[in-house]
Amino acid sequence: MDRTFSRIKTQSLNRLDLSKKGSVDEDIEHVVSLLNSCEQFFTTSSCSGRIILIDGAAGSSDAHKQNCVWLFVSHQKCTCDDLMSGLSRSCGDAVLKFEPFVLHVQCRRLEDAQLLHSVAVNSGFRNSGLTVGKTGKIVSAVRSTHGLEVPLSSHGKLLVDEDYIQFLTQTANQKMEENLRRVQRFFQNLQSAVLAERHQFPDSPGTQEHQDSQHTHKKGRRGGQGTNKQNQLNVYKLGHQHETDGCHDYGASSLPELDDCLDLFT
């Protein structure tokens, strides 16, 4: 199993990044690097969090971003002028969204996924969960619920005044700041968890590789680490995560077939 996982990991990380941006977002490069340096994890898609203004077809109920025009997108804080400039180009129904950090990680075994899930929940990402495919593929998703979605125009006509746009700008930026604080907390907690596991199992595979590189964080085989009722894994359909347009995405391996997902705690 370990050899198979290592082969899949190598193949996945060697694939081209299929996102619009074509690379990992700067604010989460350290998180992705840490996970990919661990023999039991590899990332399949990620987004550091973003503020986006999209323009959908007027009167359409289809909110999928692939059918929309992107008026503005930023993985950093924005200004009121940024949004007003984007809204000036709206011809349909414009919607402002803040989408928080999301990360998909394929895990070697269920115990590894449980550790990652516990770290995510304890870092504030309480909507995290995982899927297990019938073939044994385990994918953990790290995500939270502090998003924002506000309609701003209809048929190209602005529905609110500039004062409200200024208020929304402040709200979205506050959410971005909180999002980045949670990302840093997740990174620190993940570092601690990996280090604790390595010290608990010093003779396990990967320990020597950690000693060989100051940038590598390996952990060995996990002992049984239970979860309480509050931290039970939330199994959900990964297909409902926000799209990774403009964010790190290695393609087909990032999401398991939904029909193959099994509920772990029924």
3-state helix, strand, coil in the chain (%, to 5): 40, 20, 40
pLDDT, residue 76, reads 95
Q: Using pLDDT thresholds of 50, 70 and 90, give the confidence band for residue 19.
A: low
Q: Convert the pLDDT of each residue in 71-90 to its tens digit.
A: 999 999 999 999 999 999 99
Residues 6+ apart with CB under 8 A from 199: none
Q: For residues 233 and 112, is the Cβ–Cβ distance under 8 A?
A: no
Q: Which residues pair with 131 in a beta bridge?
A: 139
Least confident of 38-42, 102-106, 228-232: 228-232
pLDDT, residue 135, reads 87
Q: How many CB atoms within 10 Å of residue 196?
A: 12
Phi, psi angle pair for 41, to nearest 5°: -135, 155
Select from 91, 84, 102 the least CA-distant residue to 139.
102
With a cut of 50, say whether residue 224 has pLDDT above it.
no
Least confident of 114-118, 136-140, 213-217: 213-217
With a cut of 50, say whether residue 253 has pLDDT above it.
no
Give the angle 158-164-168 at the CA atoms, nearest 5°: 105
Q: Using pLDDT thresholds of 50, 70 and 90, give the confidence band for residue 155.
A: very high
Q: For residues 189 and 119, is the Cβ–Cβ distance under 8 A?
A: yes
With a cut of 70, say whether residue 33 has pLDDT above it.
yes
Q: Choose between 246 and 254: higher pLDDT.
A: 246
Q: Choose between 3 and 158: higher pLDDT.
A: 158
pLDDT, residue 57, reads 80
Q: Using pLDDT thresholds of 50, 70 and 90, give the confidence band for residue 251.
A: low
Taking the C-alpha atoms of residue 142 and residue 44, their distance in angstroms, rounded to an integer, is 12
The domains located in the chain, with CATH, are 1-198 (3.30.1960.10)
Provide the whole-model pTM: 0.74
Phi, psi angle pair for 10, to nearest 5°: -60, -45
With a cut of 80, say whether residue 98 has pLDDT above it.
yes
With a cut of 60, say whether residue 110 has pLDDT above it.
yes
Q: Which residues pair with 105 in a beta bridge?
A: 43, 140
Mean pLDDT of the chain: 79
With a cut of 90, say whether residue 182 has pLDDT above it.
yes
Taking the C-alpha atoms of residue 70 and residue 166, their distance in angstroms, rounded to an integer, is 20
Select from 44, 30, 42, 46 the least CA-distant residue to 112.
42
Residues 6+ apart with CB under 8 A from 34: 187, 190, 191, 194, 217
Residues 6+ apart with CB under 8 A from 165: 80, 83, 84, 87, 152
